[in-house]
Amino acid sequence: MTVLALAGASGALGARVAARAVDAGMTLRILSRDPARLPRALRRPGVAVVTGDARDRATADELVRGADLVFSCAGASVQLGLGHGWRGYHAVDTAANLTLATAARAAGRPRFVYVSVFHTPAMRRLAYVDAHERVVDGIRALDLPHAIVRPTGFHSAVSTYVDLARRGPLPEIGDGSARTNPIADDDLAGVCVDALTAPEPALEVAAGGDEILTRHRIGELAFAALGRAPRFRRVPPWLARTGAALLRPLHPRIAQFAAFIAAISVTDLVAPARGRARLADAFATAAAPVVAAAG
């Protein structure tokens, strides 16, 4: 039976990949710093849990020992708020995933599937992107059989538009004309499982949804989900970049992700369509509790 070692099961994508792996008959071993945070669906027989931090080599060795496949979407939170940790993405994402990759190399070179980020070459200068790409560089240097999955954005992450729209006018960096095609978490999980199980996986898998939307249109959909008229507050790109830079000494992680948001807000990021779920449906789900309460 195929053994899959998985890091990142507490997140929206990792939990879906784990569930699909179990449904496919794989033996699953997952890493968690806090097993109590794992989705209830993963707390069942046939799912082994390794408790610890992926940055610890002994923990990483325990996770990947005897594994046929390794999957990681582990990383620091992308929530822009206090209470989610302050260390930057190099200190968390890069350190954790390079430790996992090094452990996998020592454990017999299982196929390693890693979720990075879809970006333009110029965006490598951003700490958030560079932290992911250093992992990719390390996986290649270790000569691991691998696939790198590069989503344009998850529906669950983009659903923060709904939270922002709920509070008032939506900040819009630039003129809102930059285009992208985010992919639903469940569709992306299918892409990741395909990368794990394909006889000859593609080394690079860029993944987006099948609807291409401007950033402004995404904002309009967020307001529509709330049943409200769209309201925007224009933010010049230079001001967004300056704000991110000023945050660096105060909160590195928020500063790094804010700089990433400033860049993608004015950059076309359109990947091959590998998902069919609609963003409006994800927004409706995100808005549903508030709509129900209002009714």
Position 85 scores a pLDDT of 62
Domain boundaries, the chain: 3-154+183-209
Closest CA to 129 of 148, 112, 144, 146: 148
- Provide the 3-class DSSP secondary structure of residue 274: strand
Quote the distance between the C-alpha of residue 267 and its chain's center.
19
3-154+183-209: CATH class:
alpha beta
Question: What are the 10-residue block averages of pLDDT along the chain, 295 residues in total?
Answer: 93 93 92 84 81 96 97 82 70 96 97 97 97 97 96 94 96 97 98 93 92 98 98 97 93 93 98 97 88 44
Position 198 scores a pLDDT of 92
Residue 246 vs residues 34, 127, 239, 240: alpha-carbon distances, Å: 33, 15, 11, 10
